[in-house]
Amino acid sequence: MSPNEAKDQIKTLTAELRQHTYNYYVLAMPTISDYDFDKKLEHLSELEKQFPEFADPESPTQVVGGDITKEFVTVKHRWPMLSLGNTYNEQELIDFDQRIRKALGDNFEYVCELKFDGLSMSLTYENGKLARAVTRGDGTQGDEVTTNVRTIHSIPKKLGEGNYPDLFEIRGEVFMHLKAFERLNKERIDNGEVPYANPRNFASGTMKLQDSAEVARRPLDCFLYGLYTEKTLFKTHWESLEAVKSWGFHVDNHSRLCGNISEVLEFIAKWDTERHNLSYDIDGIVIKVNNYSQQQELGFTAKSPRWAISYKFKAERVETELLAVTYQVGRTGAVTPVANLKPVLLAGTTVKRATLHNADEITERLKLHEHDTVYVEKGGEIIPKIISVNLDKRQPGAKPIAYITHCPACNTPLLRTEGEAAWYCPNDEGCPPQIVGKMQHYIGRKAMNIDGLGDETIETLYRQGFIKHISDLYILHESADELKKLGRFGEKSINNMLDGIEKSKQQPFEKVLFGLGIRYVGETVARKLVAHFKTIDNLMAATAEELTAAEEIGGRIAESITEYFAYENHREEIEKLRVCGLQFIAEEKEVTLASDKFSGQSFIISGVFEKYSRDELKDIIEQNGGKILSSISAKLNYLVAGDNMGPAKLEKANKLNIPIISDDELLAMLS
């Protein structure tokens, strides 16, 4: 290879790996497998050794982890959070063992631990109390996420009696159990949101949320595996694991003390099979030299300890035939393609279907043809995924698979919003799966929670012509006699159903709003909108700018809401529901004034704050007689500004000469 070719390759690989690192650590949405990433990193490292004059000082081969998000306070690690070297085969493990033996002789042990597929976390305890939680970040500094970590039940906030030091760090992995992931991802799909690819991404995305109440709603867990102190308390890593377990920390019980590399390989072989029986994902095994003195003797490279290595399992992959591509229409109109496969055994289960995500997956990435032989993988993914096509087995004359142009349910031409991957059916008033799906969502436990009604009943009532809109549920009592004639419903079940529908009229506004099924308006967003706008009329009249002034309402959500209420049929449906007696006004909480120091003054809160959430600042203002406005105008007295405030708001406030204050200045006004 010529120097110029090496220079170009190093530059290209460096840029590519930086982007993949950002996707993995910051966006929590990786676009490449761990194996492929490691191979590219290995190739870059080899090129840098051959041509050191072209190596970037900030090369991915020298940097740990990812970037720092801007939403949290950045904290420097007392002890760097290094990454581990990876291997995918036994020979490299044997080579690792031989290097250790060459340095230490034969008198040493290994500790083998499951490698959890989650988000690395460092916890600091002071006098037995959790003081700080920080993500890995770039290895030298990370994001402080203490408030979010406090919602994880398995992490002790205060330790009982024990012989722990006054100050120490303990490190571990935050993760999500598979059942929780499946349930929460289904909710995202139902809300028209993009589902997470795997539990690791969901856990990482959750930890980056600004609303700790939403974090608490998503059940996370954490295993701890590394103790760091100023003074060494134990001689071995195994002793420290036993100690922290006795202090009350959640430590995985599957770890094993091994006397030689043969026992390590046995442990790996066992868990390559047994991992499918766990309630959480692991993607490999971590092998560490047990004795701390020997660890110090072996030392570190720039980014990894020489006394530890990570063996990563290869994702299970099988070959099978693509029988057909079918399409599902969700309640929000999103059309999802599904690959129907010749049944094949994969990771202990028979796979008949695989996700294809969107049109680009079919026509651009995979370039699927009819009856292709495909490779299917089920690594960190819960749902099997087609990885690639075996082109050697493509049938002569096979036609490329073209993504459909019309809805498979109602034949309406599909639409695609610029910047989005999915195609949508816009016929939400006439497309059967959308109509049924919306009503099934409306009656659900987290929406209107209507007793006596289930998904099958909704389908039956729709097919028989009793209901076509949500509002039809509230005139169903007029058809009670006709329902009895169907033979499917007994008198008692009909009465239970009608009673449940009547009781649902008492559900609060935020439940009704969530139940309407507006795209991107999930439970949390519905609560935020109701708290900000108070009534359905205010919400329907709100402009996109006024909507984004509400806490955690971004441009995409605002656009979806304005489009929904611009449609006359939706406004008519709201009026029918209002006439039926549903709640479209927020339940006013009685506010006890702490003082009247903000009486007659108006405020807008924008941005992210270190000490308080925006809701907490809003409560402080209202409890002291102040008023919260929805948009910036000449009537505004103060703009309370935090980090990451929108530049448009700042510009408008400056143009109108509105005082811009911090949260500290706001509180000082009360002193």
- What's the pLDDT at 28? 56
Q: Indicate if the pLDDT at residue 671 is higher than 80.
A: no
Among 301-305, 322-326, 355-359, 548-552, top mean pLDDT goes to 322-326
Cβ pair 52, 76 in contact under 8 A: no
Q: Which residue did the predictor score with more confidence, 184 or 411?
A: 411
Indicate the domain borders of the chain.
Answer: 3-54, 74-312, 317-393, 432-506, 509-580, 602-668
Average pLDDT estimate for 342-355? 84
- What's the pLDDT at 304? 87
- What's the pLDDT at 208? 85
Instruction: Please give the annotated binding residues for NAD(+), written as ranges.
Output: 34-38, 83-84, 113, 136, 173, 288, 312
In the numeric block, which tokens belong to residue 265?
């390989």
The half-sphere exposure of 632 on its side-chain side, counting CA atoms within 13 A, is: 24
Cα 352 to Cα 69, 122, 195, 347, 385, distances in angstroms: 40, 41, 21, 13, 11
For 3-54, CATH number? 1.10.287.610
Instruction: Please give the annotated binding residues, written as ranges.
Output: 34-38, 83-84, 113, 136, 173, 288, 312, 407, 410, 425, 431
H/E run at residue 350: strand 349-355
Cα 614 to Cα 128, 212, 603, distances in angstroms: 30, 12, 12
User: Among residues of the chain, what percentage have pLDDT more than 70?
Assistant: 94
- What's the pLDDT at 643? 74
- What's the pLDDT at 270? 95
509-580: which CATH architecture? Orthogonal Bundle (1.10)
- What's the pLDDT at 594? 82
pLDDT in tens, 381-410: 567 889 899 999 999 999 999 999 999 999
| Nearest residue to 18 (alpha-carbon basis) of 49, 40, 46, 50 | 40
- What's the pLDDT at 267? 97
Distance (Å, whole) CA 669 – CA 597: 8
Confidence tier at 380 by pLDDT (50, 70, 90): low
Q: Which residue did the predictor score with more confidence, 379 or 8?
A: 8
Average pLDDT estimate for 324-341? 93
Confidence tier at 67 by pLDDT (50, 70, 90): low
Q: Catalogue the active-site residues.
A: 115
- What's the pLDDT at 302? 73
Q: Indicate if the pLDDT at residue 51 is higher than 60.
A: yes
pLDDT in tens, 87-97: 988 999 999 99
Distance (Å, whole) CA 367 – CA 360: 9
Cβ pair 309, 87 in contact under 8 A: yes
Q: Indicate if the pLDDT at residue 556 is higher than 90.
A: no
Q: Indicate if the pLDDT at residue 589 is higher than 70.
A: no
Average pLDDT estimate for 453-467? 92
User: Among residues of the chain, what percentage have pLDDT more than 90?
Assistant: 53
Average pLDDT estimate for 531-558? 90
pLDDT in tens, 169-217: 999 999 999 888 888 888 887 777 777 777 888 898 888 887 777 788 8
- What's the pLDDT at 649? 79
The tokens 């927020």 sit on which residue? 586
Fold equal for 432-506 and 509-580: yes
- What's the pLDDT at 567? 93
The half-sphere exposure of 406 on its side-chain side, counting CA atoms within 13 A, is: 4
Cβ pair 558, 481 in contact under 8 A: no
Confidence tier at 29 by pLDDT (50, 70, 90): low
Average pLDDT estimate for 251-277? 94
Lowest mean pLDDT among 133-147, 272-286, 604-618: 604-618
- What's the pLDDT at 315? 76
- What's the pLDDT at 543? 93
Average pLDDT estimate for 25-31? 60
- What's the pLDDT at 26? 52
Confidence tier at 98 by pLDDT (50, 70, 90): very high
Rounded to an integer, what is the distance from CA 534 to the centroid of its chain?
29
In the numeric block, which tokens belong to residue 555?
């441009």
In the numeric block, which tokens belong to residue 325?
């591509």
- What's the pLDDT at 591? 57
Distance (Å, whole) CA 525 – CA 587: 17
pLDDT in tens, 599-643: 999 998 887 777 777 778 888 998 899 988 867 888 899 999 887
- What's the pLDDT at 244? 96
Homologous superfamily of the 432-506 domain (CATH): 5' to 3' exonuclease, C-terminal subdomain (1.10.150.20)
Average pLDDT estimate for 423-446? 93
- What's the pLDDT at 53? 87
CATH 3.40.50.10190 fits 602-668, yes or no: yes
Mean pLDDT across the chain = 88
- What's the pLDDT at 477? 92
For 317-393, CATH number? 2.40.50.140
Candidates 3.40.50.720, 3.40.1280.10, 3.40.50.300, 3.30.470.30; correct CATH number of 74-312? 3.30.470.30
pLDDT in tens, 304-316: 899 999 999 887 7
Cα 415 to Cα 189, 269, 427, 517, distances in angstroms: 18, 49, 10, 19
